[in-house]
Each structure stands twice: as C-alpha cells, then as structure tokens.
C-alpha cells in the first residue's frame, strides 16, 4: 500500500479515512474513533518519512507458472 497513491476520485488514503469518519461519525464508538486517530497519525508519519510502498504481491498465475503444473 502507498500513502501517496490516489483513488479514482483523486483522494489519498488520508482523505478517504477522513471522508469515512465524517460519513459514519454518528455510528462510531469510542474505540473505533481512537483507531481512526491512530491510523491517521500513522499515515501522516509515513508521509513525512517518505516510507516506500510495499512491493506488490505476486499474481497467483505468475507464481504457478514456475511450478511443475506447467512442465510437460
């Protein structure tokens, strides 16, 4: 995952989290609100440090190509 990528609406993960919090604020319990704050802090910290995104996971098909299933 990357803290700098944007979705189809141009929102960053932080923007999306804030939008979600605003939309569901009435239904969120104290624990969930605290988790949102922690997540927001982690996103800001990652942005400020320029933490590289994690490498994309191998596609299942790519992993299978090297297996013996494809040996003739």
> Containing domain of residue 27, as a range?
13-70
pLDDT on residue 3: 85
Asked if the model's pLDDT at residue 27 lies above 90, the reply is yes
In a domain, 8, yes or no: no
- Whether 61 is in a domain gets the answer yes
The pLDDT value given to residue 60: 55
Cβ neighbours of residue 44 closer than 8 Å, sequence gap 6 or more: 14
| Distance, CA of 4 to CA of 61 (rounded, Å) | 28
**Is residue 2 in a domain?**
no
Mean pLDDT throughout 10-23? 93
Domain assignment present for residue 3? The answer is: no
Is the confidence at residue 62, as pLDDT, over 80?
no
Whether residue 5 is contained in a domain is answered as: no
How many domains, in total, are found in the chain? 1
DSSP per residue, the chain: --SS---TTS--HHHHHHHHHHHHTTT--HHHHHHHHHHHHHHHHHHHHTPPPPPPPPPHHHHHHTSGGG--
pTM: 0.61
**Is residue 7 one of the residues assigned to a domain?**
no
């Amino acid at each position: 995952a990357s803290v700098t990528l944007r979705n189809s609406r141009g929102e960053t993960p932080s923007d999306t989290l804030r939008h979600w919090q605003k939309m569901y604020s009435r239904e969120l319990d104290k624990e969930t609100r605290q988790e949102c704050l922690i997540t927001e802090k982690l996103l800001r910290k990652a942005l400020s440090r320029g933490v590289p995104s994690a490498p994309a996971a191998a596609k299942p098909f790519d992993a299978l190509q090297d297996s013996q299933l494809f040996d003739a």
